[in-house]
Chains A and B, each alone.
Chain A
Amino acid sequence: MNFLKPIVTPIGQFMVDWITVVFIFLQQNFGDDLTIFIVICVIIVISGIIINIVWPGDIKGSIFSKGKIEELEDKIDKDEEDIVDSIRRCKDCGNPIGDTEVCPLCGARN
């Protein structure tokens, strides 16, 4: 496994370096009080709750993203319309005929 050493060693060194720097910083500045960590945790949870209420992501109802959702809905509707329009229809009766030359409903050649 020695052939992996030139790749693995710098990766390990990189990880150790940044973690050491951050950890020493935290030890020196926040090493004796849990308050800051509790505050960070609470802020993350509260912001998570607020963001989920405002932007649930997959349902509409958010006043902040209403315009964007409507825009997307229009786009989706347009795509669906395009699919319907792209189906070949009989010139005489309007029946969808797909790839066939003769309409199965009225027998007209297209």
Chain B
Amino acid sequence: MGAVKNMVKGFIFAAIYVVTTIVIPMLLFSWVRTMVVQGLPLDFEQQDYVSVIFWLTAFGLIISGCAFFTYSSPKQSIRRGVFALIQVLVNCLYLWSYKFSGASDITFVIADFGYFTLNISQMILVYMGVYFLTLVLKVYDIIDFSINREKIREDRMKA
């Protein structure tokens, strides 16, 4: 695959990550803020709403950049392995930003009716376990790509 195809692939994946890590969460939070339940307004009692959006955007940008680099690199290349690892690390921070900013434990108040709390902390902790395994896998990939570098290159040239 040539440089142009690599880059097109990278841009497609970067766009997917921009949508899934920035646009959709941002729209979701904006929608929740303006939601009306049975004719009653739902107040989003999240004090750090701005903070949530800030960290989502910040980490989303880095994740998307890393996704571009990762997916535009040749398969089984060391640079692909390194940036895939970085992407997973930033993904951990991205996920944690939900918890730290308070978005994992949100109280919704329905005016003159009551309130309910949405707690997704446990779900985030489970994801952390999954990400740890992914980290181990990515480190293994880098070691594998480094050790078998010559063979991978030869196979690529033969193809």
Residues of A within 8 A of B (CB): 8, 11-12, 14-16, 19-20, 22-23, 26-27, 30-31, 34, 37-38, 40-45, 47-49, 51-53, 56-59, 69, 72-73, 75-76
Contacts and interface: CB of A to CB of B under 8 A. Distances in A.
Contacts of B131: 15
Interface stretch (B24-32, B33-41, B93-101, B110-118): B93-101
B157 A72 contact: yes
Contacts of B107: none
Contact of B129 (A12, A23, A45, A52): A12
Interface of B: 1-3, 6-7, 10, 14, 54, 57-59, 61-62, 64-66, 68-69, 72-74, 77, 79, 92-93, 96-97, 100, 125, 128-129, 131-132, 153-154, 156-159
Contacts of A72: 153-154, 157
Contacts, number: 103
Contact of B2 (A19, A31, A56, A69): A56
A20 B117 CA distance: 24
Q: Which of A16, A38, A41, A49 has the most CB of B within 10 A?
A: A41
Given A43-B65, A44-B65, A59-B3, 18 more contacts: A12-B129, A15-B131, A40-B61, A40-B65, A41-B61, A42-B65, A45-B14, A48-B72, A51-B79, A52-B3, A52-B10, A52-B73, A57-B6, A58-B156, A58-B159, A59-B1, A75-B154, A76-B157
The B interface is mostly helix, strand or loop, or mixed, namely helix
A52 B79 CA distance: 11
Task: Identify which of A20, A49, A57 gathers the most chain B CB atoms within 10 Å of its CB.
Answer: A57
Nearest to B100: A23
8 contacts: A12-B128, A23-B100, A37-B62, A41-B64, A44-B65, A45-B14, A45-B69, A48-B68
Nearest to A69: B157
A12 B93 CA distance: 14
Contacts of B73: 48, 51-52, 57
A44 B68 contact: yes
A48 B7 CA distance: 8
Contact of A41 (B54, B62, B77): B62
